[in-house]
Chain A
Amino acid sequence: MISTHIITIEDLVKYPFLPEATERIRRLNLSLREVLSLRDVVERAIKRATSRNYTIDLTDPDTELLSFYLSLVLAALTRDNVAIRRFADIESKRVSKFLQQEPLDKVVYIAKKAFNIDVKVVNGLIQVHFVHYLKYMPQGDLEWKLVNRVLHRGFVYLSLRELTRLIEEAYEKWILSKCSEIANSMIVFPEEITSLVDELRSKLRTVSSEVSVRRRRLEGVVDPYPPCIRKLIEEAKAGENLSHIARFTLASFLIHIGFSVDEVVKYFENLPDYDEKKTRYQVEHIAGLRGSRKKYLPPSCDYLRSVGLCPGECIKGIHHPLQYYRLATRSRASEGGVGSEQRAEAT
């Protein structure tokens, strides 16, 4: 059912999270077992979940919609955070590309209808209520920090481009919450789904399955790292979508304490949008092996604090992550290196 002239059937395929799309699927009245018997749907579900280059067939809305919902169920049942985050990343980037082609009124409609974002357009200017802005804003980017925005009577001014970015983040969060809803539901799933779930999991994890020995070695020496870096390592390991500045901080820190480019690249392999070539290129840049030939320092504590990357657990007087590292390694050596080294290994 199309409730308004703005949204076409094609749009439902592009934006399968719209309530109208859910409604359309519901009306097909198919059981999961029946869906699993539709070969085309199953094939496309796996493809769309794992490929950034997957082209959506706008002429066959029902197959596409079913394959989206099937891929969502399969991703959820992997119960694997790295896989789920990668799935969410692929999906949201795809939607973002579509949104960038849309006129203002459609983007506004989608923001409101799908994610309850309080958005209004006054004299051609887009405004979003600060509560929704804060909920979906990308983290760790000074451009997005509320203090650098114009806030008027509860509303933040945004460009159309920024509104689509907000929807992208909202969609990613939507997928993650749907996945945990499905994974925690009491539904009994048909037996034959297991092999598909396994297939999807291994496809989503292909890049990260190559890791092994070295990572364990790296984990052992996490101790002298300041809390901010420790947190970034954990998040990278958990496959969270680190912001640009978070990636830069982690990479430049590791380079500065003597890691090789190869070793640093490994830290990013669980990231949802991990692309080895790109990551290597960027790390080489930070290491001063490319471009300006300048080795970049990690940002200061003040800066990290201002972009929300400082967990605020440091001892007093620390103003730079590297200073913390130097202090920590120095005190370790002086208190008898062997003992503390062993303790660090054990964790």
Chain B
Amino acid sequence: MTDATMTAPAQAKKKPAGRPSTVALLFNNTLATVGLVIVALICLTALAAPFLPLPDPDVTAPANRLMPVFSDDHLLGTDHLGRDLLSRLIWGTRVSLAVGLSATVIAAFFGSLLGLVAGYAGGRVDTLIMRGIDMVMAFPYILLALAIVAVLGPGLLNALYAIALVNIPFFARNIRGITLGLSRREFVDAAKLAGKSPPQILFIEILPNVLPVIVITMSTTVGWMVLETAGLSFLGLGAQPPQADLGSMLGEGRKILFTAPHVSIIPGLMIFALVMSINLLGDGIRDILDPRLRAGSLSRPVARTKVIRDPKDIPPPSIEPGVLDIRDMRTEFQIGGSVYKAVGGVDLHLKKGECLGIIGESGSGKSVTAMSVMGLVPTPPGRIVGGAAYLNGEDLFGASDKRVRDLRGGSVAYVFQDPLSTLHPLFTVGDQLLEAIQAHQPLRGPKAKEKAIELLSLVRIPNAPERLAAYPHELSGGMRQRVCIAMALANDAKVLIADEPTTALDVTVQSQILTLMNGLRRERNAAILFITHDFGVVSAICDRVAVMYAGRIVETGTTAELMENPQHPYTAKLIDCVPVLGQPERRTDAIEGRPPVVNNLPDGCAFADRCPRVQAVCRTGQIDLEMANETRGVRCLFPMNMEPRDVKTS
């Protein structure tokens, strides 16, 4: 069989389907490794069949018929015609594997091609192809295969065609979906503008991005195809006597199942081992290639961030703690061999009705700071490794899971940048508000509904009673964000943590939301931790600001003081590059370079490489956030408009 050679390259291609780390990841998965080892053993044996000292599998010897397992010369015994079972098993496996794999390759090739073309061309071509596919899928699967073989006549090759054909729709549908999504991506437009023709775009730009999905689909279907080949042969429609394949061996053994069970049990076990190990391996490959399943990239945290801190080293609350008091909080991500210190010792405190802004460049650790407070950082890879967060004196990191669940959405509520990630698309605004209310309050029926209407009016949504029945997609971005704020306020939150709540909104809507939040905190005396990257927004709403850089606070102060008289060179530069309306000539300076990666922070000041005032001492030792008074502090040895610190080189 020429097809038998396909075994090797197909197997070999699967393993390194990506960067070297992929192989390492595969070996990390025990089940997949077991699968891989079994598959490899079976394939190697099948491949080596011609070189093994095996008797001819098709030579009959009626004198030796139905010899049991472990007889002399016949390790696995013989069948009803006296043929050596071991030899037939190995040769038969070879045939089954070859047919199963070839069918997979054929189905993958044509199915993917159809899917790619349908997904990319869209419109009429798509409709035509997909209706055709639907028609094939309308027939019961095995019936169709039987019908095809019935028309073409029994035989291994025809069985192969039949199995390939019935599997084409599966590939076509999968690939079409992916292609459709990719065709709308900006890089496809970019390729058009680079002068590429449609086939070039399809096969050079899109195909490489679809390839992992094709491999995943192949690796998860190959086992089934081997099984289907065996099925057709079992029914006498595949391999024809005397040729051995696993299915036909099973079929021949069936008639003497009770007198000589080993004749059918042996190929049965082989089918089981083969399909099982291929599927284990396939699942492993899928897990590795499908980025959604990779640990740590799940965007929605599930339970609660793990806290691993030294119980002897828990910082006490501040003297004047306020509502929320964060002390030396440290959060890390362990990814592979390196540790990313996303938050490296942050102190913050919030009084009643106060709004504190956290500002910094992307990746400076603002969001992780916000999420750590209520344990919303996903574990793994995240974990809190030190410090404490006190809510009215209660240590949140030490509290029980139940207590934290009660506080979430109760005393402490979050508002995120993207309202759609908070709102469930399939439930009405009213349902979701009711749920938020009832999770913490014993309100039922009309009372709860009243409360929901009250909340919607509170965030100034016009005709609130009608809006309860609206679905999130029926509301504008600004309206959705108002609903999220209403949900956050449902249970009289004492602290509102808002992570860039207006970044995705238009300026006009942003000013509405900011005004709303400002009014609400005055009316309800709630404290707000407001995360943003926009100094304009800070000016509009925050009483105090903390500037974050590489996971630490580098400067803090009241908004007015900090904006008028920045002391840290980073703050000054950051304010300088904000474009201001009415000052078109202002934009001159940019901060060159970029922030250090937090898995490899330099000694001393993290800003040293970009700082115009840097001196040699800046690169040594630990630089503290030195507080001039209760609100004002800077983490710099040579702050601006100030005497330099006494530098003790330690």
**Bound pair: A and B?**
no
Residues of A within 8 A of B (CB): none
